[in-house]
Chains A and B, each alone.
Chain A
Amino acid sequence: GAGVSQSPSNKVTEKGKDVELRCDPISGHTALYWYRQRLGQGLEFLIYFQGNSAPDKSGLPSDRFSAERTGESVSTLTIQRTQQEDSAVYLCASSLIFRSYGYTFGSGTRLTVV
């Protein structure tokens, strides 16, 4: 596609439910990042994928968070047993190569846990 696509754009879920967020990177982009942005805050790194290498999961805040990516295509971020503090915008970015001079972001998924 022309840009990074994220779905859903908005998600409201009840506390304790699991949610799955999806990111479609730009075709051919080997690197993919997930970030979390709380209201009025900057971007907090969660995880990145580079080709077939093991992902860097060091930013995941708890074991309730997990992410997968199939090859160089779609990635899903799963949050289990959601908590109110998980409410945020989850942003995905991709780049053509690792250590690229610039990343293309999707519009994000706004998650609200009630």
Chain B
Amino acid sequence: TQLLEQSPQFLSIQEGENLTVYCNSSSVFSSLQWYRQEPGEGPVLLVTVVTGGEVKKLKRLTFQFGDARKDSSLHITAAQPGDTGLYLCAVQGRDDKIIFGKGTRLHILP
């Protein structure tokens, strides 16, 4: 079983639309990270959320950590073609390894 479940797996929407992707788990975490990966590159850290209920904004991206610190969401407002990429959530497991979800592959159509 996957520690982190990301949904949807794939999302293709028109430029200007809003979208939300999710990262869910049955475990509680002290922190959670979101990364974006573009083709041919490594993942780039977008944000780390630490406190239950925390909301962080990065321009048009809004990240929320669930109150129980088991899940997180990423909302993008007025999506742009430059938002296209693989969005990965990650946590530090009990054995200190960084565990990644399988990601949501986002494609913004111009």
Binding site for B on A (CB under 8 A): 4, 33, 35, 40-43, 45, 48, 56, 58-59, 91, 93, 98-99, 101-108
Contact = CB atoms under 8 A, between A and B. Distances in A.
B42 A106 contact: yes
Contacts of A93: 42, 98
A101 B103 contact: no
Contacts of A104: 45
Main secondary structure, interface of A, reads: loop
B97 A42 contact: no
A107 B41 contact: yes
Interface stretch (B13-21, B54-62, B75-83, B88-96): B88-96
Given A101-B31, A108-B42, A59 B97 contact: yes
Interface residues of B, number: 23
Contacts of A43: 43, 88, 100
B92 A99 contact: yes
19 contacts: A4-B42, A41-B102, A42-B88, A43-B43, A45-B97, A45-B98, A48-B96, A48-B97, A56-B96, A59-B97, A91-B42, A91-B43, A93-B42, A101-B31, A101-B50, A103-B45, A103-B98, A104-B45, A107-B41
